[in-house]
Chain A
Amino acid sequence: MTVQALAQAAALALLAVVLVYVHRVAVGPTVFDRILGVSGFATSTTVVLVLVGVLYGRVEMFVDIALAYALLGFVGALAAARYFERTGTRR
């Protein structure tokens, strides 16, 4: 079994994990459940991006995309948390 096949299997399994976070974003009772879902989604997708880079043999390109995606997810989760902390939750 090659490294590429392993990366493909792991990326597909992680996409199933990402679906769980999408479900949490869709149904989450509070707005913080949705922020938590987006945060977990961003973290898992970062790993999926690196694994896709291993799969195609272009890690040197995909790792930069993954780093940018991780930064955006982190800043987005922090900003959303601070916003709802200040304004409270209105549904």
Chain B
Amino acid sequence: MTLLVALLLAAGLFFHAVAALGVLRMPDFYTRLHAVSKAETLGVLLTLLAAALAVGPGLTAVKVLVVAAFLFLANPTATHAIARAALRVGVRPWRRESPEAS
């Protein structure tokens, strides 16, 4: 059980780290949003699954899974809203020939 929790936590932390790396290093807003949206959704799902396993069966584990399910739905929705707002306001996507246009 502890080994499974450790494995799930390690996998989740890996995806969290990938999301943070993308936010830190990607060249413009849309690519950063892309990194956060997907990597962090999967990382949250894995880490909260590990937490639910650590708690053991019962109502509390179900609540942890409810938090995971909510974040699984809410994170892409918020990302989509932010991306649409940026596109309508006119944030320009990154081009290789003009790296300063962000």
Once the chains are docked, how many angstroms separate the CA of A74 from the CA of B50? 23
Question: Which B residues from 13 to 69 make CB contacts under 8 A with A?
Answer: 13, 16-17, 19-20, 23-24, 29, 32-33, 36, 40, 43-44, 47-48, 50-51, 54-55, 59-60, 63-64, 66-67
Contact between B6 and A85, CB atoms less than 8 A apart: no
Q: Quick one: closest A residue to B25, CB to CB?
A: A20
Contact of A30 with B24 at beta-carbon distance under 8 Å, contacts A44-B40, A81-B85 already known: no
Q: Which of B67-102 contact A (CB under 8 A)?
A: 67, 70-71, 74-75, 77-79, 81-82, 84-86, 88-89, 91, 102
Please count how many residues in chain A sit with their CB below 8 Å of the partner chain's CB atoms. Answer: 48
Task: Name the one of B13, B24, B74, B86 contacting A13, with C-beta atoms under 8 angstroms.
Answer: B13
Binding site for A on B (CB under 8 A): 2, 5-6, 9, 12-13, 16-17, 19-20, 23-24, 29, 32-33, 36, 40, 43-44, 47-48, 50-51, 54-55, 59-60, 63-64, 66-67, 70-71, 74-75, 77-79, 81-82, 84-86, 88-89, 91, 102
